[in-house]
Structure 1
Amino acid sequence: MFNKIKQIKDMRNQASQIKQTLAEESVHAESAGGRVNIVMDGNMETLSIEINPELLTSEKKEELENAIKEAVNSAIKKAQRAMAMKIQGMGGLNMPGL
């Protein structure tokens, strides 16, 4: 039983270390020819969003919405890849019995 508690504590420590490491990573994604830019950290927290003012018109509302969606989805995928690589590089989460 004490061994299981130690394993759980070790897993929590590993997860915390990975989360801290990922917070220091950043990924950049853009869409609409670079007119929408998103920066996220490795934990998929949005750090910044930049939108070219030319997209801020009612005529370009749908284009802007699509560009934001595309940039966010791209940034999430990049952050997920960064997360997977960091976890793999740190030996993965050691989960005995799973």
Structure 2
Amino acid sequence: MNHLLRQAQQMQQKMGALQKELETREIDVSSGGGAVKIKINGKQEIISLSISQECLSTNDKELIEETLLTAINQAVKESQTMVSSAMSKVTGGLNIPGLT
């Protein structure tokens, strides 16, 4: 029983360290041939967003909105994949609810 408790404590420590590390990991994503660029971290927080002047000068509101949505969704998905992969390394592949 003590062995299991020790393992759980070690996993908890590793998870805490990983969560801090994920806050600093960043992913760059672009959409529309580079018209929109997004930087997101492992907490799924958008750090920066850039829209090219060319994209803005089109004055095509729907195109700009669609390009933004595509970039945001792609950034969130890639960040979630990064977090999930990192978490599975710590948990040994166990799917623990609430951790990913």
TM-score (norm 2): 0.73
1:76 aligned residue: 76
> How do 1:45-84 residues align onto structure 2 when only pairs under 5 Å count?
45-57=45-57, 59-84=59-84
Shift of 1:17: 2.3
Does the 8 Å CA contact 1:35/1:51 hold for their aligned counterparts? yes
The alignment covers a number of residue pairs equal to 90
Shift of 1:60: 1.5
Supply the distance in 2 between the matched residues of 1:21 and 1:29 (Cα, whole angstroms): 20
1:39 aligned residue: 39
> How do 1:77-92 residues align onto structure 2 when only pairs under 5 Å count?
77-91=77-91
Relative to structure 1, is the Cα distance of residues 40 and 92 closer, same or farther in structure 2, using a 3 angstrom cutoff? farther
Query: Which structure is richer in relative contact order (CA contacts within 8 A, separation 6 or more)?
Result: 1
Between 86-95 and 63-72, the greater mean CA deviation after superposition: 86-95
Gaps of 5+ in 1: none
CA deviation digits over 1:18-39, x for unaligned, max 9? 3211112111111111110001
TM-score (norm 1): 0.74
Question: SS at the partner of 1:56?
Answer: helix
